[in-house]
Structure 1
């Protein structure tokens, strides 16, 4: 049997933890984001359009279409789905027996249900990555009806874990490539890190210190990022275990450094979880003595693989030196670096490399399938057992080939020639399931934002146009110059994140921003709960406006105790009031000011469920995201260890 049982179990446990973080983080923000008094009410997405519910479900698959049959409003439906998601993920965290395909299918569909009505605040790459990884988790997890029995491994486990590895490859490879295809000057002159720590959405306190590191090290860091994201992913499919472990440790190093310096919610933890697919049970000390061999052939094989590994390591170092012209400056005690290839040369190399990435995937997947089928006949005992194992393996093979095939469409988007090479039949297969979010394209930090300083929008309110303006504080994003950057992951404050995106453009490009300003004029408590202290505790302001500042970190030489310094740039949004011309039309167009569409059916059921949901929210819904996540996660970990 393939020795990945412990590996698979760890992957499933970690996916349970990721789901718990995702559902819990979203749950505490639902009233302010999606309630009737929220910024983007979910009921707007669910409003009747004359089509049957079944047709609307096919286009936007979500359980939210059916929560109305329980007499629930949109916010209550999202509450119910997130609570169910938390409960199911807790069960999977605690009990190994419950981590099966049915439970993970439920988790995947529950998250799909809130994603489909989440609008702008759920349109992040980590949300779609969770959906894609979550669907693969259904295939990785065992399918068994006997919950009282400990799950066992299957011969096809290596195939399903390979699909996770392929997703990790596409994620990391694309994330590295798009930095160069974007032609962003900071990525090409290796100065991206000069701005990254300061300009990222919600930096941690350690990011301030990382920003002070000398520039030569920052440039070397960018070169290392290219090596880890563009180069080492090819080692994911190496038949040599040492090389796979090298790629694993390099990816973990990158993710840990990102976690230390930036608050990217559960995204980096999810990436680390995908990296588990690079491991085997030997990594966890599950190798039996009988599996070791001291024969001359085995000794020669180990020596041969070590020589190949050494050659690969030497090749990586040589490529780094040549591609980035690394040179030690002994006088300055630094390592100088500069990209040695041209943009035309890179695009030509990418064009040539893309077919190889697909062929590597085909060969690697084919090898896993052949080995799995061989194990079905060589390791299983009894004819029936061999046939049953083989049948399961063939079913999984079909699913794996299908998932790999449709993934080629998003994988190819980084290169025009690769995109054009995808056949119409493959595109049709992909388009048939597009609404299920099974596969996606990725590419993180495509262009470096905040070059020259991070733009930051500051909201202000007043009872008079001419005086008395007071700034609103946010819980996590920079605003207060003296406030230390917080550690908030794996919670994602989604309003803070969208405020960061809003600062990169104009408020006209973000319709939700006007809705947000209107909620401040109304003094909606559910929205204010997403923010820091309220400067207008007695009554809401008559006017609200927004100003744009440029923020910079203070320096080590600064005598100030502040973390930030800022400079006023311009008015971001002019002062508005409830009587501002055109505001009412905007709010009516986006469904913000309209009555509730609460169902009047099934009053008894409605009353019970609503009371239950209200009680749960009053008990735990007022906690902050990080506190609630760890309040659920820590006991679950303890229980999982003793169960």
Structure 2
């Protein structure tokens, strides 16, 4: 009687998706734990207590409205990471169905509590994406229940909006997407280049045109195939997975690409997994009626909440990475509606005394020393490094945390310094700090052979006035 409800051919796809999502939850909670004190803690650059005093619960639901302390925030991160680790190794799926759902719900609620007080540090599209997908995962079932077709279709709906939203914002945005020239710049000017970005940037320009054209097909045409029967839907998902892995190799975009890969893998049928791996699908289990009713109710909720995101897709004023509800249940996505043609970087430097040499602060991810090759970071997310890239584009992104950052460096704040690659003043903090703006570009092949540098840079001017320690 419930044949319409189950998707028997997706046991293994569901399992792979759940393990991948658990891994990304684990990364997200560890990132939050490692960086929250200097960024959001009681003495952070954007303190959570000050945020809670001016923003009510209804606008930003979070358990921290009930009580906040740095210790509680750290406990939330460790509990979330622990639940994610247990889920990653398969413990959660072997629990009774209500307990499995409770674990997934707890991870979602804990991370929602973090995101909703994260302010500018958590204003990235992949935060909402993780929450939207994480909420749907609550209703995917455990190892003893057949995969629910409605939830699998809801996951495809997320992937559809993620890809199509990114494609449409490009067509409506920068002209270089329409004349196929954006990748002449993007690999060099993207927020956080990776170890192979220099090589991607130096590919022949005709190949860049092919890359852009293939991207348009993947984001504007292929998503519609997700809702067709197999093998078409699986082939379309496979194309998306390959494209996302190409993006993983060419740059660092936190867990955005990896979460898109996980969504794509959920579309592949068991026949693929049994061919490609030693895994085999189990026999069908019982379907509790209460669970069926709950899944149907959640599906109807998703349909209702999808109206505004769907209208946003067809709107000429399309918004990127916007949430239409404070729980981030159904969101709109998009990336790089405009592409910067030149790369600017803020370089912080300090000196100990009026006649001392200027020593630069090196960040873990963003370009600084021209000799340093861009590192591989994703799916890890360096929030300060990303905001420094945005601040170089517009000083409005630097308010009010940048001035506080400079003051903490002058004070030798150990928590803030741990966000950086190293401390050029290990013995005593500097007495003065300056912030200069530089124009960066990748070196040519000849320059690379001659100097060994990955970047060439030239000063543009002051980003902020020098500040002296009182």
Shared fold, TM over 0.5: yes
Corresponding residue of 2:310? 411
Pair 1:486–1:538, CA change in 2 (3 A) = same
Corresponding residue of 1:161? 152
Pair 1:508–1:398, CA change in 2 (3 A) = closer
Shift of 1:181: 0.8
Corresponding residue of 1:2? 7
Q: 2:260 aligned with 1:255, yes or no?
A: no
Q: Where do residues 292-441 of structure 1 align in structure 2 (5 Å cutoff)?
A: 389=289, 392-416=291-315, 434-441=325-332
Ranges in structure 2 where 5+ consecutive residues have no aligned partner = 1-5, 277-282
Of the three residues 183, 192, 204, the one matched with 1:202 is 192
Please state whether the residue corresponding to 2:326 is helix, strand or coil: helix
Asked if the contact 2:166/2:219 (under 8 Å) is kept, the reply is yes
Please state whether the residue corresponding to 1:201 is helix, strand or coil: coil
2: CA distance, partners of 1:122 / 1:213 = 33
Shift of 1:411: 2.5
Q: 2:462 aligned with 1:462, yes or no?
A: no
Corresponding residue of 2:440? 551
Q: Where do residues 54-73 of structure 1 align in structure 2 (5 Å cutoff)?
A: 56-68=56-68, 73=69
Please state whether the residue corresponding to 1:435 is helix, strand or coil: coil
Q: 2:402 aligned with 1:513, yes or no?
A: yes
Pair 1:524–1:417, CA change in 2 (3 A) = closer
Q: 2:454 aligned with 1:574, yes or no?
A: no
Q: Which has the higher helix share?
A: 1
Of the three residues 459, 481, 485, the one matched with 2:374 is 485
Shift of 1:120: 0.9
Asked if the contact 2:7/2:148 (under 8 Å) is kept, the reply is yes
Q: 2:462 aligned with 1:563, yes or no?
A: no
Summarize deviations over 1:397-436 as a string: whole Å, max 9, x none. 23212202211212221333799xxxxxxxxxx96xx121
Pair 1:508–1:229, CA change in 2 (3 A) = closer
Corresponding residue of 1:447? 338
Corresponding residue of 1:246? 235
2: CA distance, partners of 1:401 / 1:163 = 10
Corresponding residue of 1:21? 27
Please state whether the residue corresponding to 1:278 is helix, strand or coil: coil
Of the three residues 410, 417, 427, the one matched with 1:538 is 427
Pair 1:507–1:541, CA change in 2 (3 A) = farther
Asked if the contact 1:37/1:526 (under 8 Å) is kept, the reply is no
Summarize deviations over 1:93-135 as a string: whole Å, max 9, x none. 1213148211100000010111111111111111111011111
1: CA distance, partners of 2:78 / 2:398 = 33
Corresponding residue of 1:265? 254
Please state whether the residue corresponding to 2:458 is helix, strand or coil: strand
Corresponding residue of 1:601? none
2: CA distance, partners of 1:230 / 1:124 = 22
Asked if the contact 1:23/1:82 (under 8 Å) is kept, the reply is yes
Pair 1:557–1:442, CA change in 2 (3 A) = same
Shift of 1:140: 1.6
Q: 2:39 aligned with 1:42, yes or no?
A: no
Pair 1:2–1:439, CA change in 2 (3 A) = closer
Corresponding residue of 1:174? 165
Shift of 1:158: 1.0
Summarize deviations over 1:165-198 as a string: whole Å, max 9, x none. 001000100001101111x122122111111111
Q: 2:289 aligned with 1:276, yes or no?
A: no
Q: Where do residues 583-594 of structure 1 align in structure 2 (5 Å cutoff)?
A: none
Greater relative CO (CA pairs within 8 A, separation 6+): 1
2: CA distance, partners of 1:508 / 1:129 = 22
Asked if the contact 2:388/2:398 (under 8 Å) is kept, the reply is no
1: CA distance, partners of 2:284 / 2:467 = 73
Corresponding residue of 2:217? 227
1: CA distance, partners of 2:401 / 2:210 = 40
2: CA distance, partners of 1:91 / 1:502 = 38
Please state whether the residue corresponding to 1:203 is helix, strand or coil: coil
Q: How many residues align?
A: 447
Shift of 1:467: 5.6
Pair 1:62–1:8, CA change in 2 (3 A) = same
Of the three residues 418, 428, 435, the one matched with 1:529 is 418
Q: Where do residues 70-219 of structure 1 align in structure 2 (5 Å cutoff)?
A: 73=69, 75-94=70-89, 95=91, 96-98=93-95, 100-142=100-142, 151-154=143-146, 157-182=148-173, 184-219=174-209
Asked if the contact 1:507/1:572 (under 8 Å) is kept, the reply is no
Shift of 1:26: 2.0
Asked if the contact 2:172/2:316 (under 8 Å) is kept, the reply is no
Corresponding residue of 2:279? none
Greater Rg, structure 1 or structure 2? 1
Pair 1:153–1:5, CA change in 2 (3 A) = farther
2: CA distance, partners of 1:533 / 1:159 = 49
Q: 2:403 aligned with 1:504, yes or no?
A: no
Shift of 1:576: 2.0
1: CA distance, partners of 2:284 / 2:40 = 53
2: CA distance, partners of 1:67 / 1:546 = 37
Pair 1:278–1:542, CA change in 2 (3 A) = same
Asked if the contact 2:167/2:334 (under 8 Å) is kept, the reply is yes
Aligned-pair Cα RMSD in Å: 2.5
Pair 1:537–1:418, CA change in 2 (3 A) = closer
Shift of 1:519: 1.1
Corresponding residue of 2:227? 237
Shift of 1:447: 0.8
Please state whether the residue corresponding to 1:28 is helix, strand or coil: helix
2: CA distance, partners of 1:286 / 1:141 = 24
Pair 1:417–1:202, CA change in 2 (3 A) = closer
Summarize deviations over 1:215-267 as a string: whole Å, max 9, x none. 0100111010000011100000112x121122112101111111111111222
Pair 1:170–1:562, CA change in 2 (3 A) = same
